[in-house]
Structure 1
């Protein structure tokens, strides 16, 4: 498991040291640097993992399968400074240190003569095992309801990757429908079987009671089709199937998150942006229960969220013993336009926060005070 990330001269951060746990929540105002943490992991993965499918050019690949960062001038912190603890050099550098057992150090050099290049010459360690672990990264901009979805064997089946927008989720689910979910926190007790499709249906019913799914290949094409039924259960065809385009955004938007969590292995690294998007409050809370269950199986999740319901759902998971207090890490990013400070409220065994920084999910109380004034 990755226990710490250090960023030097990267985007919003002159220097950031962040402790990580099995389930880490990144919270805070917009443009305070939360997404940069996820992007750092994705950037290293697309640059240095052996299974990358991007250009073979050596160095830090700013634009690739997982993230599109722009050019070197876009990633170098505006007020960059020396990185003497990483490398003795007068040249501006962008640095990353990932601690997963032994620390792995990555240094990318900024070429003052070519600031608009999208590959930065880089030093990296010889072996970084965390780069080869099972990996999912789902952007906030995920798939929307559509008539068809892509059918790629190489991505969805051979690599088991859902796509950064979750665009390969339907094909993955179609191919792996009978794959069994191991007994444990992730296996939903109300599902009619331990198979992936039935487990996915059971967790989706937490978001929309009575819904069921069907994923089918469209013969003679490179596409698959997703349909929803209501009032039945997995394996029982409802009298009328509905296209995703005739169903609200929430179900399709949540589907990749559910499948990513259900198929997490004890060594998986899962990066998620706004898993609560388009979900009602109860659905957001139940999504937090799923995230907690995935972390309890041994996967590591780093989640950017703006939802107090997700936060409270994780706190409930700690109180119920699904997660230990030290397994749930919460970081609050406070940006003031000139920099970012990170506060880390601790969750105790009863699910209570040991501190509540100003601005940290307190808008409900602020609004209530105005209504009662």
Structure 2
């Protein structure tokens, strides 16, 4: 689980300062304020860590098939108010709760631009258990390897360039001798933490009338939910202890949201094609013939039960095309799945209904205030600003930002004023 994030000169952010990430973290705010950039920073590292080119410093994307996001160029990532500094930084802490040899650690990497225009690591810092390892860029692309607070580098040269932003080179590992294994384990733990990220964007695929199945289970649901149906088919059709686990979980929440009673996988004759049947009010309809909201929330529900235990699920606008009651139920989904499956949720949302239900869940002690973090993001000229919402044990927000979710009380007052004016004028 990611426990802290900090960005400096990254896209809309001059400096986020330290952002505490909890089992359930919600990002709220206006459009184009910088919320998505917080999620994108970790996606950038994930697609770099799994790049086939181990010498890459930062994979800004461009491969529509394999990359999660296309960041453009170095200039597109660098905060526009920081042109003199010409560097940006991504930093996070993690705690994997005993998954692997490294329990917790720290990653920090700053990036600059070479004369040829490519992105280059300036300083990579990895920490765990009081130990610190750094690869610092020197002249002509050479790197110095520094351990803890030692004054002299353990090694210097061009062959000590870090790989994929998160790992020291093989030569650096060798030069570190007995410390080399620790650095290697730490880099592996960071990579695994990034690989456990499941990302679902705001634009999801429309439903088809039927689907083929190749009798395998997909690796991920995909950023547009393209493999969510494959995950449902695998859950229903592959025999084993977890058969129908995902299907049953999805059906439970569709029912709780009031949009369907259950979901059924139905084979078309003897073919290898299947259709998804939605049952509601005594009728059975093909997924294509029901409201778009069901197909849009399906990937959210599938990811919640399909993601491996210990994953971090990042969602943008999970509430899209859902009515208010269903939006509210998403808060309960996140709370219950996070607790039962040790899943971390990082949710960017515009839904007041989702947020209000989260307040209620805290008040009911379904989730502790310390296990949830709420942030409001706003734009101040060229830079984004982050407001940490202070929520007490009764779900009450002590520091409401101006214009937060509009002015419901003001709207009610205006309606009452207009009613009295019209009564006075005798028009009603």
Structure-2-length-normalised TM-score: 0.71
For the pair 1:171 / 2:230, whether they are aligned, the reply is yes
Deviations 1:17-53 (A, max 9, x none): 222111110000001100001111111111114xx5x
TM-fit CA distance, 1:103: 1.3
Give matches, 1:309-320, under 5 Å.
Answer: 309-320=353-364
Aligned-residue offset at 1:135:
2.7
**2:72 equivalent to 1:70:** yes
Whole-angstrom CA distance in 1 between matches of 2:212 and 2:77 = 32
Answer yes or no: is 1:230 the counterpart of 2:274: no
Of residues 268, 273, 292, the one that matches 2:316 is 273
Q: 1:149 to 1:220 in 2, by over 3 A?
A: closer
- Which deviates more from structure 2 when the two are superposed, residues 269-278 or residues 70-79? 70-79
Aligned length: 336
Contact 1:217–1:224 (Cα < 8 Å) also in 2: yes
Which residue of the other structure, out of 399, 404, 413, is the alignment partner of 1:360?
404
2: CA distance between counterparts of 1:152 and 1:76?
A: 43
Distance 2:69 2:324 in 1: 30
Residue in 2 aligned with 1:137?
199
Match of 1:243 in 2: 286
Q: Distance in 1 between matches of 2:68 and 2:211?
A: 19
Matches within 5 A, 1:196-345: 196-215=246-265, 225-231=275-281, 241-297=284-340, 298-345=342-389
In our comparison, the structure showing a higher alpha carbon Rg is 2
Provide the secondary structure at the position in 2 that maps to 1:73: helix
Match of 1:121 in 2: 120
When you count helix as a share of all residues, which structure comes out higher?
2
Partners of 1:368 and 1:130 in 2: CA distance: 50
Tell me whether 1:349 sits opposite 2:399 in the alignment. no
2:5 equivalent in structure 1 = 5
Equivalent in the alignment of 1:162: 221
Unaligned runs of 5+ in 1: 84-91, 182-192, 233-237
Counterpart in the other structure of 1:35: 36
Q: CA RMSD in A?
A: 2.7
Query: Which whole-Å CA distance do the structure 2 matches of 1:150 and 1:15 have between them?
Result: 47
Cα distance in 2 for residues equivalent to 1:287 and 1:33: 23
CA distance in 2, matches of 1:150, 1:262: 22
* Contact 1:281 1:309 survives alignment (8 Å): yes
Helix, strand or coil at the partner of 1:44: helix
Distance in structure 2 (CA, Å) of the matches to 1:224 and 1:109: 50
Partner of 1:86: none
The verdict on how the C-alpha distance between 1:93 and 1:338 changes in structure 2, with shifts beyond 3 A counting, is closer
Using the TM superposition, name which of 299-308 and 347-356 deviates more.
347-356
Does 298-307 or 316-325 show the bigger shift? 316-325
- Report how far residue 12 of structure 1 moved: 0.6
Q: Name the CA distance, whole Å, in 1 between partners of 2:207 and 2:260.
A: 19
Secondary structure, in 3 states, of the residue corresponding to 2:285? coil
SS in 1 for 2:16: strand
Decide whether aligned partners of structure 1 residues 248 and 210 sit closer, same or farther in structure 2, where only a CA change above 3 A counts: closer
Secondary structure class of the residue paired with 1:60: coil
* Alignment CA distance shift 1:246-1:353 (3 Å): same
Aligned to 1:146: 208
- Cα distance between partner residues in 1 of 2:218 and 2:259: 33
Deviation at 1:340, TM superposition (A): 1.7
Tell me how far apart the structure 2 counterparts of residues 55 and 227 of structure 1 sit (CA, whole Å): 43
Which secondary structure state, in structure 2, belongs to the residue aligned with residue 351 of structure 1?
Answer: coil
Partner of 1:108: 111
